[in-house]
Amino acid sequence: MFFKPAKLITLAFLLFAGNAHADQISNEPDSAYLFSYNSNGLTYAWSLDKQNWTPIGKGHIFLKSDYGRWGSQKKMNSPYLIQGRNGEWVCTWNLNDETPQFAITRSADLINWGPQFYPYVTLGKNVLQPVVQYDQASDQYVITYTDADGKYFQTKTKDFKQFSKAVTSSAAAQNSTSSINLGKPTPGQYHRVAWPVIANLQKAYEQVQYHNKQNSESTKDDAQRFAGLKQVDAKITLQPAGAKPISDMLMGIFFEDINYAADGGLYAELVQNRGFEYRLSDRQYRDKNWNNSFGWSLKGEQATFTIDSVAAVHPNNPHYAVIDVQKPGAVLSNTGFDGIALKKGETYNFSAFMKQLAGTTAEVEIRLVNDKLGILAKLKVKNSKDWKQIKGSLKPSADATDARLEIRPLAAGKYAMDMVSLFPQKTFKGRNNGLRADLAQTIADIHPRFVRFPGGCLAHGDGIDNIYKWKNSIGPLESRKPDRNLWGYHQTMGLGYFEYFQFCEDIGAAPVPVIAAGVPCQNSGTGGGGQQGGIPMEEMDQYIQDIIDLVEYANGDVHTTWGKKRAAAGHPQPFNLKYIGIGNEDQITEVFRERFVMIYKALRKAHPEITIIGTAGPFFEGTDYVEGWSIASELNIPVMDEHYYQSPGWFINNQDFYDKYDRTKSKVYLGEYAASLPGGNKTNLETALAEALYLTSLERNGDVVSMSSYAPLIAKEGHTQWNPDLIYFNNTDVKPTTGYYVQQLYGRNSGDQYIPAQLSLSNEQENVGKRIAYSIVKESKSNELIVKLINLLPVSVNTTLDFGPIKPIGTTIKTELSGQPSERTVRPITSQINLQGNDLLQLPAYSFTVLRFKI
């Protein structure tokens, strides 16, 4: 007997034990008192008699301050809540004791809050206790604040965008802050509200609790959750008549220079700090060793090693090393990124700009050395009077994992050097200034349809000055402009836009560059007083021109200004750029909106052929998500980028997320997502299967979800700022996670048509149904059908596949990933089977199966 699986998500408002239940009161009153107070966030309590108070949701925070960097810097002080124009709720608060800004936002229901505004004021030492009042006569909000000197000031607004110049005020506003007893005297404001307001707040809290419970669903509780569950029978009946076209761009990758993904990672350069441009500011002055000489050391007597910047090789690369040798023997060495890994017999290309500053031009010995094995290779180069690029090659006589590069002047003198580089000749596809072959190949093996780059947060940067500028990343290496990497290290820009485009072409993927929307990261620590800020309006025209120039650089004729530069770099053919992302999970403020709209309109006008991807904030819900999507609808943005990092339970319980999306609106690019285990931020088979399960829902919704990419992609062991990642690596090994194989199985088995099917199960429990997922797609060019089946249950699922009129031809390739959910090194196993149609297939407990056959 088969049942259809119960509907996935039926939101029953569960009743939680604890406080008196506002939605359970019989003979409901018409109204009640609401008290708003602070708990580093806006919190409410309710009362019928103004004496006995019940905190709603045990002090649940309904509004948090978004100002400042991560965590503890985001403070809400002295929130002040009123009901203003047409009953809308308005809240002000002070941000800290220094900033001449306050916060203001509004809400229709006290639950969902609009964007937060942080207006600057021009009077007062700081802003303390901003009190908002609504002046009905002038239909304005009046904000009165005090400062450290106890003086009072006022500013006014009608629309929350324009605030009048602050003026002094003779006295404090009529401040209605009172106090109630919640175990201790608690200051705040009283409000008289209709009873449903209280009931809705309680419901909103319960809804959050309900979702938290769902999100915590984990296989570690499966023995209890599925106690007594026997094998489940499933029947999947294909309904080819309902086939629909889906995106053939669904599976892509997102490469961000995070976790040493570029320098020390994919970019094959073996010398660290080759340009002597590391700066204390790269690490926000927290590491005094992180300076121009990082990675380098001088050994030997009667010699000095200094950094100079007079008459540099290029102004964009102003520092260089000077070694002053009184007596030959001193050696300047570089230990690379955690040592230099070498392979016996392979060729390594050395190059450097050198100049003899004093003494006659002499020879310099370049060698590869290992403590245990001694000198593995050496060559001699001749120095010259002026800056000259010197090149040579080295072939190590043995393998080594921790070699170093040594530079040894053979005569006394003063030697300047810059851009000291060592590159394996065998880069990915043999490219000059290329990529580490094994790592690039592992990425290519996913078969991504596109590559999003260079970030992430890296693209919009930490503060306006740190916004990634593509023009700084092209041209001869010595002319590229290195920058601080906001993930706490340095970007040489060696892996720049040319190399990104080249890599995309080499792996047959479409390039998807992401350009900041004229605003840096919402958590910027530099500039903007710990807040977003935006490129000054007078600089926006040039900023927009730079974006338009990017299209010319990628696609323009070789006679155009920027097309000529691409050709000069060795690629006269266009790179066929079709997509540009504007913005990265930004805070959707007025500052953002203004700049985004300017960029969007100008780019659309100049290049209507480019598909622009907008941004819907860092979460799958909330103010930025709502505001981002509202801009999308207003401008009819072709594609919107969404991000969410969640628990396996979230992915299991939200498989219908896109089923509900409006097909007439923008398409979706799920640009960043990953399932990770709470606490450890680790991945295992459970997280991989949760992703595989969720990806079936992306294929099912492939008519609205057009692209997706897991994040982050790669991470160097020992230099990881973000976990989990898809692929870990060190200098010699590449270590894909189990989630990598899920991406690969989807990447290699995607289709362009979705074939719906009906699933019937022998067990009608909702929690059983949502652990089984399937997706059937057809790849038109090969005329092959691909069936993906996920079983996240602790028992096997006996599956009958009824293909109806579709007939499998020849053998079927079956690939299976299965094991214990906590296993971290599960790998796919491929076999060949004979599938007829109406076959029985056993899906092992905790497994992902892919079937592929001709039809």
Taking the C-alpha atoms of 343, 348, 353 and 356 in order, what is their torsion angle to the nearest 10 degrees?
80
- 584 is a contact residue toward ligand AHR (CB under 6 A): yes
DSSP assigned state of 240: G
Q: Which of 585, 627, 686, 691 binds ligand AHR (CB under 6 A)?
A: 585
Closest to 839 in 3D by CA, of 1, 243, 236: 236
827 and 817 in contact (C-beta within 8 Å)?
A: yes
Q: Which is nearer to ligand AHR, 16 or 619 (CB)?
A: 619
Q: Which is nearer to ligand AHR, 348 or 729 (CB)?
A: 729
Task: Write down the least CB distance from residue 645 to ligand AHR, Å.
Answer: 7
371 and 389 in contact (C-beta within 8 Å)?
A: no
Task: Write down the least CB distance from residue 220 to ligand AHR, Å.
Answer: 26
Q: Which is nearer to ligand AHR, 419 or 582 (CB)?
A: 582
Q: Which is nearer to ligand AHR, 258 or 547 (CB)?
A: 258
Considering only the stretches 264-272, 302-310, 455-463, 779-787, report the one whose residues sit in contact with ligand AHR under the rule CB under 6 A.
Answer: 455-463
Considering only the stretches 37-45, 180-188, 337-345, 450-458, report the one whose residues sit in contact with ligand AHR under the rule CB under 6 A.
Answer: 450-458
Q: Which is nearer to ligand AHR, 103 or 459 (CB)?
A: 459
Strands 483-485 and 374-382: unpaired
Helix H or strand E encompassing 597: helix 590-606
d(CA 223, CA 229): 9
- 711 is a contact residue toward ligand AHR (CB under 6 A): yes
Binding residues for ligand AHR restricted to 222-261, rule: CB under 6 A:
256, 258
Q: What residue type is assigned to position 740 of the chain?
A: Y
d(CA 680, CA 40): 26
Helix and strand element counts for the chain (H, E): 13, 47
587 and 624 in contact (C-beta within 8 Å)?
A: yes
Q: Which of 263, 483, 641, 672 binds ligand AHR (CB under 6 A)?
A: 672
DSSP assigned state of 611: E
Q: Which is nearer to ligand AHR, 428 or 468 (CB)?
A: 468
Closest to 733 in 3D by CA, of 438, 494, 448, 449: 438
599 and 610 in contact (C-beta within 8 Å)?
A: no
Which residue intervals of 716-817 are DSSP H helices? 738-748, 766-769
Q: Which of 457, 603, 652, 768 binds ligand AHR (CB under 6 A)?
A: 457
Binding residues for ligand AHR restricted to 108-147, rule: CB under 6 A:
none
Task: Write down the least CB distance from residue 496 to ligand AHR, Å.
Answer: 18
d(CA 700, CA 661): 12
Closest to 535 in 3D by CA, of 483, 598, 625: 598
301 Cα distance to chain centroid = 49
Closest to 571 in 3D by CA, of 492, 509, 502, 647: 502
Binding residues for ligand AHR restricted to 257-296, rule: CB under 6 A:
258
- 712 is a contact residue toward ligand AHR (CB under 6 A): yes
Q: Which is nearer to ligand AHR, 413 or 724 (CB)?
A: 724
3-state secondary structure of 387: coil
Task: Write down the least CB distance from residue 144 to ligand AHR, Å.
Answer: 37
Tokens 């189990």 belong to 738
589 and 617 in contact (C-beta within 8 Å)?
A: no
Considering only the stretches 81-89, 361-369, 449-457, 653-661, report the one whose residues sit in contact with ligand AHR under the rule CB under 6 A.
Answer: 449-457
Q: Which is nearer to ligand AHR, 295 or 671 (CB)?
A: 671
Q: Which of 134, 619, 620, 722 binds ligand AHR (CB under 6 A)?
A: 722
d(CA 689, CA 691): 5
- 801 is a contact residue toward ligand AHR (CB under 6 A): no
Q: Which two tokens stand for residue 3?
A: 């049942």
Q: Which of 475, 581, 618, 649 binds ligand AHR (CB under 6 A)?
A: 618
Q: Which is nearer to ligand AHR, 456 or 736 (CB)?
A: 456
Q: Which of 57, 130, 252, 455 binds ligand AHR (CB under 6 A)?
A: 455
At residue 453's C-alpha, the angle toward residues 449 and 454, to 5°, is 165
- 642 is a contact residue toward ligand AHR (CB under 6 A): no
Task: Write down the least CB distance from residue 685 to ligand AHR, Å.
Answer: 22
Site string for ligand AHR, 544-583 (x = CB under 6 A): ----------------------------------------
Considering only the stretches 156-164, 451-459, 604-612, 620-628, report the one whose residues sit in contact with ligand AHR under the rule CB under 6 A.
Answer: 451-459
Q: Which is nearer to ligand AHR, 249 or 459 (CB)?
A: 459
Closest to 140 in 3D by CA, of 163, 162, 164, 158: 158
845 and 226 in contact (C-beta within 8 Å)?
A: no
714: left (phi over 0), alpha (psi -120 to 50) or beta: beta
Task: Write down the least CB distance from residue 486 to ligand AHR, Å.
Answer: 9
Q: Which is nearer to ligand AHR, 222 or 462 (CB)?
A: 462
Q: Which two tokens stand for residue 381?
A: 């180069």
Task: Write down the least CB distance from residue 523 to ligand AHR, Å.
Answer: 9
Gyration radius of the chain over CA positions: 31
Size of the site for ligand AHR (CB under 6 A): 12
What is the torsional sign of CA 62, 65, 66, 71? Answer: negative
Closest to 670 in 3D by CA, of 619, 723, 638, 709: 709
16 and 23 in contact (C-beta within 8 Å)?
A: no
Q: Which is nearer to ligand AHR, 715 or 757 (CB)?
A: 715
Binding residues for ligand AHR restricted to 167-206, rule: CB under 6 A:
none
Task: Write down the least CB distance from residue 601 to ligand AHR, Å.
Answer: 24
444 and 280 in contact (C-beta within 8 Å)?
A: no
Q: Which is nearer to ligand AHR, 2 or 619 (CB)?
A: 619
The DSSP-derived string for 408-475 is: EESSSEEEEEEEEEEEES-BGGG-TT-BBHHHHHHHHTT--SEEEES-SHHHH-SSGGGS--GGGG-S
Binding residues for ligand AHR restricted to 330-359, rule: CB under 6 A:
none
505 catalytically annotated? no
Task: Write down the least CB distance from residue 672 to ligand AHR, Å.
Answer: 5
Task: Write down the least CB distance from residue 256 to ligand AHR, Å.
Answer: 5
Q: Which of 5, 100, 336, 456 binds ligand AHR (CB under 6 A)?
A: 456
Point out the catalytic residue in the list 217, 499, 552, 585.
Answer: 585
283 and 294 in contact (C-beta within 8 Å)?
A: no
d(CA 592, CA 532): 9
Task: Write down the least CB distance from residue 461 to ligand AHR, Å.
Answer: 11
Task: Write down the least CB distance from residue 41 to ligand AHR, Å.
Answer: 21
- 686 is a contact residue toward ligand AHR (CB under 6 A): no
3-state helix, strand, coil split of the chain in percent (to 5) is 20, 35, 45
Considering only the stretches 108-116, 130-138, 452-460, 466-474, report the one whose residues sit in contact with ligand AHR under the rule CB under 6 A.
Answer: 452-460
Residue nearest to ligand AHR (CB): 456
Considering only the stretches 184-192, 454-462, 490-498, 651-659, report the one whose residues sit in contact with ligand AHR under the rule CB under 6 A.
Answer: 454-462
At residue 226's C-alpha, the angle toward residues 225 and 232, to 5°, is 150
Q: Which residues are catalytic?
A: 585
Residues contributing to the site for ligand AHR (CB under 6 A):
256, 258, 455-457, 584-585, 618, 672, 711-712, 722
